[in-house]
Structure 1
Amino acid sequence: MTKQGRSWEQRMGMGGLGGWVRQSGDSLDKDATDRDSRAMVPTPSPTHLVSSTGANGWAWRCGCGWGRALGWGLLLTTGWAAEPAAKHEAVEVKLNVAYADNANPRQTLDLYLPQERVVGRRLPVVVFIHGGGWQNGNKSAGKSWVQPYAASGHYVGVSVGYRLAGEAPWPAQIHDCKAAVRWLRANAARYGLDADRIGVEGNSAGATLALLLGASQGIAELDGAVGPHAAESSRVAAVVNFFGRINFLAEPVSARAGLTQAAALTGRLKVLFGGTLEEKAELARQASPVNHMGAGAAPVMTAHGTSDELVPYVQALELDAAMKRGGVTHLLIPMTGFGHGFQNAEANRRARQFFDRYLRGVVTEISTEAIVAPAKK
């Protein structure tokens, strides 16, 4: 059979499956291996092509949706330098792929696939889950996080949508995210994914969901029955947590936060849980990642602002203590002087190192030294 006559899976030798980093002036592809000597093959005809070198400064939306609720300006222009031209310049994007076997646009995901693939190699996956205070945001926020991973040629990127609290109360959100991971496993051969190497990252509410993906296997109330692939596992191998809430029953906001912020959060959580935290304490405990960090949880990297008024830094410390008690790997990076919704090139670089270590087996040291916010002018 000719190369042209074979299916993509046959050309790739596939049979099964197995963020968010961008660093100013740095290529995401740091493999020491000389790829010039490796055979490369294209993926199928692109649905939509994007270039990893198409912009010198990207606008980054936290996707947290708190700007409207709390009056915060969360649209940050990072001014990141474009990644230098590389072999993996083009990325195939498949938008709005249904993972729940229905027509709900929230229950879809976007796939970012490298146009050039090493023959026969299944790629690890980095999944991004957006924030938005449980009532805002969408999966388009994940583009700038996962597209660079795909552009490196070493990963497939995925951005997942989920039902917001106004449409469906807890635990619909984690049910959707687990269904998305199960869908990835069920469709591994089709897209050349490695089922044993799925990592997930998120910010704010998305980070809470990412942490639960890493630590709540086998809990029926959290696994749910969304989608047609209940037999597949929703386990993930590594988690990056950017300023996620880990305990809903702890201090809701920092003492420095104003009454408006506290009221906005209280209202959002009431919609999420279908009642006050006092009325829905059991649901809130179930939704708190800190209560699930035992043996078997995936390793986690956390970057959290010490000046975060919305999700106080003490939450990151509580997570760190819980993971140490459970014997689970946790790298805590204090973001000194940062608030909620930050974006930082050095934190992103360490996130990439973290995924490289736990998804690709790259031996690398990851600093946990505090990252200090630049002085205000």
Structure 2
Amino acid sequence: MHSSPRGLVAALALVCCTSSPTTARTQLGPTHSDLVYATVPGVGGAQLDLKLDLYLPPSPSGPLPTVIWIHGGGWAGGSKFPSTAAPLVLAGYAVASIDYRVSGIAPWPAQMHDCKAAVRWLRANAATYGLDPDRFGASGSSAGGHLAAFLGTSGGVDTLGVGGVSVDVEGTVGDHLGESSRVQAVADYYGPTDFLRMSMLPSMIDHDLFDSPESKLIGAPIQAAPELTLTADPTQLLSRDDPPFKLIHGTADNSVPFDQSEHLWRTAREVHGLDWELVAIPDGGHGGPGFGIGHAAAWFDVHLAPRDTTVGIELLSSPGEGAGPGALRIERAGPTTADLAVLLFAAGSAEPARDYLPLPQRVVIPAGSASRSVPVFPIQDGLVEGDESLTVTIAPSADYLIDHAATAIELVIADDDGGPLLPTVTVSTVDGVATEGSVDGALARITRSGGLAAPLTVRYRVRGSAVPGVDHDRVSGEALLAPGQASIDLPLAALDDDLAEPTEVWVVELLAGNAYALDPVHVASGRIDDDDRVAGQPLLGLISESSLGVEAGQDLVFVLTRTGSASSPLNVGLLTSGSASPLLDLSGVPASASFAQGQSFTRVTLGAVADGLPEGAEFLDLTLAATPGHTSTETRTRRATIADADAPSIAGEPLELVVGATRLGTELLVDLGGPASSPCAVYLAASAGFLPVLGQPILLDVASAQLLFSGATGADGSARFRAPIADDPALVNLVVSLQGLAVDGAGSLRVSAATERRLCSVD
């Protein structure tokens, strides 16, 4: 089979033009060369040694923080040498530059298995080489940035399932499977994330081709295998226990579009509440000037710095329905003179409020104590679901390091429901493809075996990257099988939205019930193909070069992108909305933007006006207007925030607000930390705004704010609140602001920072 000329040239361009971050000209050889960290099958079945080079500072002091450097090269080439290690090594870091199997030797996820094996090997040999196993960072450029990002978001994850496809994330490469493969910080230089979105923006590569670097990595054309492709997307694994990330990307990158980093950053920030940093290099390409390794060094200086306290988690006992609660214990090593708040994240097949009482997201170890136990209460739900697992992980904080050997524990909640006479239900895909604009939809089928005499209602939910009510029609969530009926079909029709989108995935998942048992195969899936890209028409999108503005200090900068034909000038209408007023809060708001002939990028700069009003942060949504002659992508709207230069500072120590996942149809969990035994409340608003309350500034716009929770903190200063989030597609992508308030024993008002979160679908 011959590669297409364009695909071959593009792949070579990505390999040959991929440049590492620029460094000082200091040349530094490895302290230890060609250390074998694992042996794997290579081409033709021959054994292949996987190697790394280890660079150590000339005069190391104490156990060293370590950076794992992962080279680029389109997953098809590149080498661990030469490395960009010199500046990091001279700054006091150990640097391990690793090789991994390229796509011509093995497809995904072999590359991630190799990276994780290298991390485990380094931890197992930390004492030999003077490394600190609790302070590992990962960095890389291009394909290496992708692997560094995936390494960061996949900590503690064994498998990743997308629809009907499941991949082994951790792998079994190497000899140290008992060691953790987690890293504590990531610096990602222009790495891809969601391959399915890449051809939506200007690029010299057609990423959708069968022989593109991404398709070669996956082992199939990416748009024809969306579920498998999404298993390589680090965004799929985002959670609140992920380490801090710094993403560095050029806005004019024509190999890996800037949108790839922006998409990961926005999802981490808006959905999971992660305080990550995105560095946009204006007009920057795929590496080159502006991409110095200093970006990574500065990040690691903060997040791999030594701390006085190290915390870990221990399982005391697992709970069971009808068998009583379980328990876990949080322990700290180091000073015990003050209270220590430890952040927890819980996830697994067991769901909070359905299978167990929600755990606190913030646990305080009191002063004078080295540990605190936390009970886990199961819920007797009467559903036949089998034993379920729950993994509880310590989330990162600036107040402590996490013991790499005691980062997480797994509990098993035993199920005592059900019996041998219950029917078993399963679901299968009959027709997996639905196409926008076509009357032929997708079809899933629910089937029961045994117990056909009685009617049976089977519960299910539809999830995936395709949103019910937005990308396909809504379904009831219940299927009724009549007496004698063995199966029932669930049709899914695609909805035409006039937006060019990547291939999307739909998933039907059966839910547990009390009158049936679930077959091990209780998930069916397929895809929705988009028909909205018009041949010969340009495809327009938006990226945010600077989405955090400051009144009279930092402007908002958006970049319009044009993919496809650029042979003619093009004028595009712009629409604005949000709490920021184009007349009072912004200057230079244009009604349109223009592309010159041959231009794929054009910039729009909006000035943030200092209005002298203490109104708090405000947001602006910029949207591309629908205009004949072009098609917009799903990225036609971008949000930016303007910080208020006139806002008064918050008096006293702020409250701590921890907000759980904001997914439709689930339960919102909010934890508050502040003064002990004090009245407290949490408010919800469409946007944040400063208003004086009892002489103190409150970050709430009372015109849109509503009381979400009220109560009192406990003796440890913690309060926990719960509320259901409606399963309404009209709420998808709605951004809300939450803020906590409390009155301490002296009668002073204490407030938290306003926390913005975006409501999203289940997946």
The aligned residue for residue 85 of structure 2 is 146
Residue 288 of structure 1: which of 233, 240, 246 is its match?
233
1:1-377 correspondence to structure 2 within 5 Å: 68-69=12-13, 73=17, 80=24, 82=26, 93-101=31-39, 107-118=50-61, 121-141=62-82, 143=83, 145-152=84-91, 154-220=92-158, 221-252=168-199, 254-255=201-202, 257-258=203-204, 262=207, 266-324=211-269, 325-344=271-290, 347-361=292-306
Checking the alignment, whether the CA contact within 8 Å between 2:138 and 2:183 is kept in structure 1 is yes
- Displacement after TM superposition at 1:186 (Å): 0.4
* 228 and 310 in structure 1: CA distance in 2 versus 1, 3 angstrom threshold: same
Following superposition, the deviation at residue 219 of structure 1 comes to 2.6
1:254 and 1:310 in contact (8 A); partners too: no
Distance 1:167 1:72 in 2: 19
> 1:174 Cα deviation (Å)?
0.2
Deviation at 1:93, TM superposition (A): 1.8
> Which aligned segments of 4 or more residues in structure 1 are displaced greater than 3 angstroms?
65-83, 101-106, 260-266, 367-370
Shift of 1:146: 1.6
By relative contact order (CA 8 Å, sep 6+), the higher-ranking structure is 1
Displacement of 1:80:
3.8
Secondary structure of the corresponding residue to residue 60 of structure 2: strand
TM-score (norm 2): 0.35
Give, in whole Å, the separation in 2 of the partners of 1:314 and 1:337.
13
**Could you tell me how far apart the structure 2 residues matched to 1:71 and 1:352 are?**
25
More helix by share: 1
Larger displacement relative to structure 2 (323-332 or 186-195) = 323-332
**Which whole-Å CA distance do the structure 2 matches of 1:276 and 1:290 have between them?**
20
1:263 is displaced (CA, Å) by 6.9
Is the deviation greater in 264-273 or in 287-296? 264-273
The alpha carbon displacement at 1:291 in A equals 1.3
1:77 offset after TM fit, Å?
11
Alignment CA distance shift 1:343-1:240 (3 Å): farther
Q: CA deviation at 1:272?
A: 1.2
2:81 aligned counterpart, secondary structure: helix
Q: For residues 288 and 273 of structure 2, what CA distance do their matches in structure 1 show?
A: 29
Q: Deviations over 1:205-236 (max 9, x none)?
A: 11111011111123321110000000000000
Unaligned runs of 5+ in 1: 1-64, 84-89, 373-377
- Give the conservation status (yes or no) of the 8 Å contact 1:99–1:107: yes
For 1:75 and 1:241, locate their aligned partners in 2 and report how far apart those are by CA, in whole Å.
Answer: 13
Counterpart-to-counterpart distance in 1, 2:73 and 2:26: 27
Q: What's the CA shift for 1:298?
A: 1.0
The whole-number CA distance in structure 1 between the counterparts of 2:70 and 2:257 is: 21
Secondary structure (helix, strand or coil) at the match of 1:250 reads helix
Cα drift, residue 353 of structure 1: 1.1
Alpha-carbon distance in 2 for matches of 1:234, 1:263: 31
Distance 1:320 1:282, change over 3 A: same
Structure 1 residues 78 and 165: CA distance shift in structure 2, 3 A: closer
- Cα distance, 1:68 vs. partner? 3.4
Question: Equivalents in 2 of 1:126, 1:234: separation in Å?
Answer: 13
Q: Which residue of 1 aligns with 2:327?
A: none
1:210-267 superposed Cα distances (whole Å, 9 cap, x missing partner): 0111111233211100000000000000000100011112133633x34x65577853
Match of 1:40 in 2: none
The 1:265/1:298 distance shift into structure 2, 3 A limit, reads farther
Contact 2:123 2:133 in 1 (8 A): yes
Q: Cα deviation per residue 1:293-349 (whole Å; 9 max; x = unaligned)?
A: 21111110011010011211112221111111212221111110011133536x432
What SS does structure 1 have at the residue aligned with 2:212?
helix
Contact 2:210 2:216 (C-alpha < 8 Å) held by counterparts: no
Say what the alpha-carbon RMSD is for the aligned residues: 3.1
The amino acid that maps onto 1:301 is K
Letter in 1 for 2:103: A
Deviations 1:51-108 (A, max 9, x none): xxxxxxxxxxxxxx9783369755699684659xxxxxx8752111111146955611
| Conserved 8 A contact 1:122-1:194 | yes
**Aligned to 1:107, what secondary structure does the other structure show?**
strand
Q: For structure 2, which runs of at least 5 residues remain unmatched after alignment?
A: 1-8, 41-45, 159-167, 308-397, 399-545, 549-553, 558-763
Q: Go from structure 1 to structure 2 and tell me whether the alpha carbon gap of 1:79 and 1:98 turns closer, same or farther (over 3 Å shift).
A: closer
Cα 1:242–1:199 change in 2 (3 A) is same
Considering fraction of residues, name the structure with more strand.
Answer: 2
Letter in 2 for 1:328: L
Question: Taking structure 1 as reference, are residues 75 and 169 closer, same or farther at Cα in structure 2, changes over 3 Å only?
Answer: closer
Q: Which has the larger radius of gyration?
A: 2
Task: Tell me the residue number matched to 1:39.
Answer: none
Q: Kindly indicate whether the alpha-carbon contact (under 8 Å) linking 2:19 and 2:287 is maintained by their aligned counterparts in 1.
A: no
SS in 2 for 1:290: helix
Change (3 A) 1:265 1:327: farther
Determine the C-alpha separation between the residues in 2 that align with 1:314 and 1:193: 36
Query: Which residue is 1:18 aligned to?
Result: none
